[in-house]
């Protein structure tokens, strides 16, 4: 499942300037981003990754540390997660040390922030693959994406190998079916991405940060937009005894 | 995937009210859902199978099954992933054994 | 009544877990709520989409329970499967039951449903965290042949408790995936002993990722789940707090500092003070647990 790295489309510094015209103090070290920025006259925490870096135990822990620091020292401060990753790091050492626990810890820290009243949003600005996406964009209150972002579970050739479905068939399905097609439009239709940001990124960010709702409504959105016709209905049937019709 | 349907009229043995499920849709295996349904005494069997072209064998297995049990008002639904006739017969029998009313 | 948990089907496991006669299945197979996506890939469906869910009693306490069927699509999570888990957890919150017991056996995201599966796993994760915030404990059991991998390996560590057998495995990426990506030198997926040293129940127990290690026995899993539920009922299921997460942060930081240089999990066991770590795989659950006492990193969720 080795991925041919696509060259970085987005320079994070340029992105940061566009996102935060009021100013930003973000530093990048070993493809790990952290710092602060100003939006609508207040400070937000910024954390994330760059250069399609894989998320291993160290980066997961470093991201968690930033989240915890924000909760500890800055009540109510919004958190912006900038996502660019090729997924979880695929190394024996990470599995031996329990990378699933490090990822879970990061997810729990985001949940804590949310419960304590911090708005947490994710922006996929370049790549978001597989497990790396689960504990970044997908654990936030809402996840947004740039139009040229790459979002997917796995490349089609690898998927074909593992599922034993011919690659041609997957490619054909990918053309029309949001379930298989990579890309932010499909995640948008399925409710995984709340909005795709074109044009004025700073404005879009400002609007995203003022939205109040942190409950997970992605299944309902997926039904509304037609990308996932069953998830919400099954959830309602099981949770609230709402009859499934047909 | 191939779908096959069989129907046998005038069965004799009745089933209990609540449905049962046996088996798992794993490689070389199948699941059998068996339900008590008003079919005017018939037994209807629908098979969805990943292995195409075995219609004659299914017909034989299902025919033997009906000879054995002669179910009435029974709907049997199968999801099959390439089970052998022996495994199919086994699961069908297990399904019925889970369903047969006392003293029937 | 003793039976191998490993060999049992999901249905058999959930019936063995709960008090006799107490299980009431939700969305049972007769309702035929199957995958809407598998058909177009010419793949067979399963009437319960590979997960059995429902309500029941565990030691007299009302719980919701779910068991993934490892035999169907490797237990992997698709749109309907994931929604059943999310709905179950939300139902548990609404009904304020004593807990949710998840019998996980899964490769993670069901690739045949790609994007829908990925979003579904993250929704399960959010739901588990929502349950914790609502004071409903979540107990995870891992003991099936396929282990608990992928995004569901993350979900498992969001729960209040993880109970494993030696046969169970808990991790994120499977060894084959790692070998394909980075070579056999990185991880020889056919070295079963290495795979189990790295991801199996005993290793997870020793490094603090598993609360209890039981034998491959449905009765042992049931007893362990009951004990966990009782303990959580008495202490009150811990919410996520800043203090608790800072403590976890420190534990995870220390894990890297202390064991980050280890070449093999046995080096970690030796570092923990296990005498003759090469004998660990041979010990029965009770003997292993006794040996590990005072040596292992305690589990905290």
In a domain, B23, yes or no: yes
Q: How far apart are CA C124 and CA C89, in angstroms?
A: 8
> How far separated are the first and last CA of chain C, in Å rounded?
30
In a domain, B7, yes or no: yes
In a domain, A178, yes or no: yes
Q: How many domains does chain B have?
A: 1
Write the DSSP symbol of residue B26.
S
In a shared domain, residues A60 and A144 = yes
- State the smallest CA–CA distance between residue C252 and chain B in angstroms: 38
CATH number at residue C219: 3.90.226.10
Cβ contact, residue pair C29, B1, below 8 Å: no
In a domain, C253, yes or no: no
* Probe site for chain C from A68, A86, A98 (most C CB atoms < 10 A): A98
What are the chain C neighbours of A76 within 8 Å (beta carbons)? none
In a domain, A4, yes or no: no
CATH number at residue B29: 3.30.230
Cβ contact, residue pair B26, C48, below 8 Å: no
Tokens of C63: 């719980």
Confidence of residue B104 (pLDDT cuts 50, 70, 90): very low
CATH number at residue A168: 3.90.226.10
In a domain, A1, yes or no: no
In a shared domain, residues A109 and A78 = yes
Interior/surface letters A181-190, b for 16+ CB within 10 angstroms, e for the rest: bbbbbbbbbb
Q: Which residues of chain C have a Cβ shorter than 8 Å from any chain B Cβ?
A: 9-11, 28-30, 32, 39, 42-48, 69, 71-72
Nearest in space to C67 (alpha carbons), one of C105, C120, C23, C18: C105
In a domain, B53, yes or no: yes
Please check whether residue A115 touches C, CB under 8 A: yes
ipTM over the 0.90 cut-off: yes
In a domain, C270, yes or no: no
In a shared domain, residues A147 and A227 = no
In a shared domain, residues A233 and A156 = no
Interior/surface letters C141-155, b for 16+ CB within 10 angstroms, e for the rest: bbbbebbbbbbbbbb
- Whole domain around residue A244: which residue ranges? 216-246
In a domain, C255, yes or no: no
The pLDDT of A142-162, averaged and rounded, is: 91
Cβ contact, residue pair A90, C182, below 8 Å: yes
Nearest CA in chain C to B2: C42
Question: What are the distances in angstroms from CA A34 to CA A64, A133, A201, C19, C245?
Answer: 11, 18, 19, 50, 20
What are the chain C neighbours of A240 within 8 Å (beta carbons)? 90-91, 94
Q: How far apart are CA B58 and CA B88, in angstroms?
A: 9
In a shared domain, residues A125 and A230 = no
Nearest CA in chain C to B22: C11
- State the smallest CA–CA distance between residue A17 and chain C in angstroms: 30
Better-scored residue on pLDDT, A183 or A202? A202
In a shared domain, residues A81 and A155 = yes
- Whole domain around residue B31: which residue ranges? 2-97
- Whole domain around residue C100: which residue ranges? 10-170+210-239
Size of interface A-C (CB pairs under 8 A): 250
Q: How many domains does chain A have?
A: 2
Nearest in space to C265 (alpha carbons), one of C249, C250, C282, C280: C280
Confidence of residue A6 (pLDDT cuts 50, 70, 90): low
Q: How far apart are CA C50 and CA C83, in angstroms?
A: 12
In a domain, B103, yes or no: no
* pLDDT, position A245: 74
* pLDDT, position B75: 98
- Three-state DSSP state, C40: helix
Confidence of residue B8 (pLDDT cuts 50, 70, 90): very high
pTM: 0.97
Q: How many domains does chain C have?
A: 1
In a domain, C258, yes or no: no
Cβ contact, residue pair C111, A238, below 8 Å: no
In a shared domain, residues A226 and A144 = no
Q: What percent of chain A has pLDDT over 70?
A: 96
In a shared domain, residues A56 and A114 = yes
Cβ contact, residue pair C44, B48, below 8 Å: yes
Pick C72's closest partner by Cβ from B21, B26, B49: B26
pLDDT at A8 over 70: no
- State the smallest CA–CA distance between residue C2 and chain A in angstroms: 31
Nearest CA in chain C to A99: C172
In a domain, C293, yes or no: no
In a domain, B66, yes or no: yes
- Give yes or no for a contact between A235 and A219, defined as CB atoms under 8 angstroms apart: yes
In a domain, A132, yes or no: yes
**pLDDT single digits (tens) A83-122:** 999 999 999 999 999 999 999 999 999 999 999 999 999 9
In a shared domain, residues A39 and A149 = yes
Residue A215, C-beta contacts closer than 8 angstroms, at least 6 positions apart? none
Q: What's chain C's average pLDDT?
A: 96
In a shared domain, residues A167 and A244 = no
In a shared domain, residues A184 and A224 = no
């Amino acid at each position: 499942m080795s991925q041919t790295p696509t060259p970085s489309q987005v320079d994070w510094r340029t992105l940061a300037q566009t996102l935060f015209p009021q100013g930003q103090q973000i530093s990048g070290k070993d493809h790990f981003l952290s710092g602060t920025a100003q939006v609508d006259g207040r400070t937000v925490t910024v954390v994330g990754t760059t250069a399609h870096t894989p998320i291993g135990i160290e980066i997961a822990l470093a991201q968690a540390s930033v989240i915890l620091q924000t909760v500890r020292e800055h009540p109510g401060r919004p958190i912006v997660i900038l996502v660019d990753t090729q997924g979880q790091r695929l190394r024996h050492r990470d599995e031996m040390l329990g990378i699933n626990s490090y990822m879970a810890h990061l997810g729990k820290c985001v949940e804590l922030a949310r419960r304590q009243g911090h708005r947490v949003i994710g922006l996929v600005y370049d790549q978001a693959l597989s497990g790396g996406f689960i504990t970044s964009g997908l654990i936030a209150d809402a996840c947004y994406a740039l139009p040229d972002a790459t979002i997917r579970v796995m490349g089609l050739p690898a998927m074909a190998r593992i599922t034993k479905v011919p690659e041609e068939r997957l490619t054909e399905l990918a053309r029309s079916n949001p379930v298989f097609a990579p890309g932010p439009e499909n995640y948008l239709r399925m409710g995984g991405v709340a909005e795709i940001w074109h044009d004025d990124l700073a404005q879009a960010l400002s609007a995203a940060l003022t939205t109040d709702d942190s409950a997970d409504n992605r299944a309902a959105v997926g039904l509304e937009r037609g990308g996932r016709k069953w998830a919400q209905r099954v959830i309602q049937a099981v949770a609230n005894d709402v009859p499934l019709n047909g | 995937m191939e779908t096959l349907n069989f129907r046998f009229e005038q069965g004799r043995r009745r089933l209990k009210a609540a449905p049962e499920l046996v088996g798992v849709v794993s490689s070389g295996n199948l699941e059998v859902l068996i339900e008590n349904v008003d079919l005017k005494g018939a037994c209807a069997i629908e098979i969805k199978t990943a292995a195409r072209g075995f219609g004659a064998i299914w017909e034989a297995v299902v025919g033997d099954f009906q000879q054995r049990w002669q179910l009435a008002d029974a709907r049997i639904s199968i999801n099959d992933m390439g089970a052998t006739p022996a495994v199919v017969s086994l699961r069908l029998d297990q399904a019925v054994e889970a369903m047969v009313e006392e003293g029937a | 009544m003793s039976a191998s948990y490993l060999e049992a089907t999901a249905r058999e496991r959930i019936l063995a877990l709960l008090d006799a006669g107490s299980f009431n299945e939700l969305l049972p197979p007769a309702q035929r709520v199957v995958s809407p996506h598998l058909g177009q890939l010419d793949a067979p469906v399963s009437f319960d989409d590979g997960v059995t869910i429902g309500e029941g009693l565990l030691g007299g306490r009302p719980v919701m329970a779910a068991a993934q069927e490892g035999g169907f699509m490797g237990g992997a999570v698709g749109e309907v499967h994931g929604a059943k888990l999310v709905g179950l957890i939300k139902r548990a919150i609404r009904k304020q039951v004593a807990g949710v017991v998840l019998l996980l056996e899964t490769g993670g995201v069901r690739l045949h449903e790609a994007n829908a599966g990925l979003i579904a796993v993250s929704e399960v994760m959010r739901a588990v965290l929502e349950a914790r915030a609502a004071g409903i404990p979540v107990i995870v059991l891992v003991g099936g042949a396929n282990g608990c991998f992928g995004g569901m390996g993350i979900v498992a560590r969001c729960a209040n408790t993880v109970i494993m057998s030696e046969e169970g495995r808990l991790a994120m990426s499977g060894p084959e995936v790692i070998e394909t990506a980075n070579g056999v030198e990185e991880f020889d997926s056919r070295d079963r002993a290495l795979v189990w040293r790295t991801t199996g129940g005993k290793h997870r127990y020793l490094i603090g990722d598993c609360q209890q290690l039981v034998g491959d026995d449905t009765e042992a899993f049931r007893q362990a789940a009951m004990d966990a539920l009782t303990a959580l009922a008495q202490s009150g299921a811990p919410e996520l707090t800043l203090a608790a997460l800072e403590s976890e942060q420190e534990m995870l930081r220390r894990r890297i500092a202390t064991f980050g240089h280890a070449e093999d999990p046995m080096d970690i066991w030796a570092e923990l003070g296990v005498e003759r770590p090469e004998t660990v795989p041979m010990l029965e659950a009770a003997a292993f647990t006794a040996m590990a006492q005072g040596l292992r990193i305690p589990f905290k969720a």
